[in-house]
Amino acid sequence: MKLSKWSKRTWITLGVLVVLLVALRIALPSIVKHYLNGVLDDGIEGYTGHVADVDIMLYRGAYGIDSLRLQKVEGDVPVPFIDLDRIDFAIEWPALLDGAIRGKILLDHPQVNFVDAPNEADGQAGDETSEADWRQTIDELFPLSINRFEIRNGEIRFRNFTTKPAVDIAVNNLFLVATNLTNTEDSTNQLVSDLHAKAQVLGDGDITLEGGFSLLEDPMPFDINLALENVNLPVLNDFFLAYAGFDMEKGTLDLYTEVATEENQFTGYVKPILKDIQVLSLKNDPIKPRRLLWESGVSLVSFIFKNIPKDQFATEIPISGELNNPDVDVWKTIVNVLKNAFIEAYAPQLDNDVDLSDVGVSKKELKEIKKEQKKEERQKEDKKWYEFWK
């Protein structure tokens, strides 16, 4: 049966549309790549960027970028600020089922390089441009609100190419997940988003980070706990020589910190614990008298104020105040050095005694609150024993 003239025209039209759609699908990655390179070149003042390739996955509502690099324009910085193998942007389907159109980002093996230098132009910290430029660029790369952010096998490096020896401290094998960034799950908690991360530093050290925050609030409140353990101090000798003028013969470092912040106020502590440390060694090659004197002084102080049974030098440093004007309690830090040395050694663990309820509370009030909490805990424990023996 012959097709009517109208039917032939219809089929031809449909065929042309199919060909155009196929051609558009084939050309789409190149179009998006050209657009992204334009955004990265012009979006962030002081930086230029480039992507090598783009993949479009319409069936997933996603697209991927291969080999994204962001380089500082001014100064003599030999490494890019951001260099990542792969980045995937996609619609987060669970959020869509809840009635919200949200996205998720996955960074595969990103490397971020922070560079310190005497000349500010040769340094690199990402703060050379405004926060608004960074946010606008991210919005142009992926216009949906981000509800999940993930990093796999990330790397963060701190470098100084001008010191002798040069400094290169690496945090690698970074795995990070931040969820519910836009509160699609309608959390009733004050901190609606969760953050979990782990990494390695300088090969042997382990980092764990747990916390919560609320990205939708301004200023953003957060409550985080961080533990850095088993760092072999001699591996940091390039850093010590460059910034402190001495090196370590042996020793390990554990560091614990808890910080909570709300309404631009924060409170917390940093607890460094150095074990089995030795700074001065006369067995090595002779060193300059000035450095020898300095290392002797450091060794003497660490020996006098170390806890001999635990062979550790430690303190707890209280920190509080405004985020842009932090206050370090120096006197309490010194007292805590003496406490660790002569009364009771600090335990290598998080204290778990800092949360949002502590923010903005004076040190005296906070001490009374903690005292009352311990009193209530003792009363509960005494009651349990009374009921047991009864």
Distance between CA 189 and CA 183 in Å, rounded?
10
Q: What is the mean pLDDT of residues 218-236?
A: 91
pTM of the model: 0.80
Rounded average pLDDT over 209-219: 88
Report the C-alpha gap between 345 and 312 in whole angstroms.
8
Is there a cis peptide before residue 286, judged by omega within 30 degrees of 0?
no
Q: State the pLDDT at residue 245.
A: 80
For residue 102, name the pLDDT band (cuts at 50, 70, 90).
confident
The segment with the largest mean pLDDT, out of 38-47, 174-183, 185-194, is 174-183
- Is residue 145 very low, low, confident or very high in pLDDT (cuts 50, 70, 90)? confident
Domain boundaries along the sequence of the chain = 25-389
> How far apart are alpha carbons 376 and 378 in whole angstroms?
5
Model pLDDT for residues 266-285, shown as the tens digit of each residue: 999 999 999 988 876 655 55
Q: Is the pLDDT of residue 258 over 70?
A: yes
Q: How far apart are the C-alpha atoms of 329 and 366, rounded to whole Å?
A: 14
**182-196, 215-229, 371-385: which range is least confident on average?**
371-385
Q: What is the residue whose two structure tokens read 């006369």?
A: 282
Buried b (16+ CB within 10 A) or exposed e, 165-186: eebebbbbbbebebbbbbbbee
Mean pLDDT (the chain, rounded): 81
Interval 212-237 mean pLDDT: 90
pLDDT at residue number 146: 86
CB 143 within 8 A of CB 98: no
**Residue 284: φ, ψ to 5°:** -80, 180
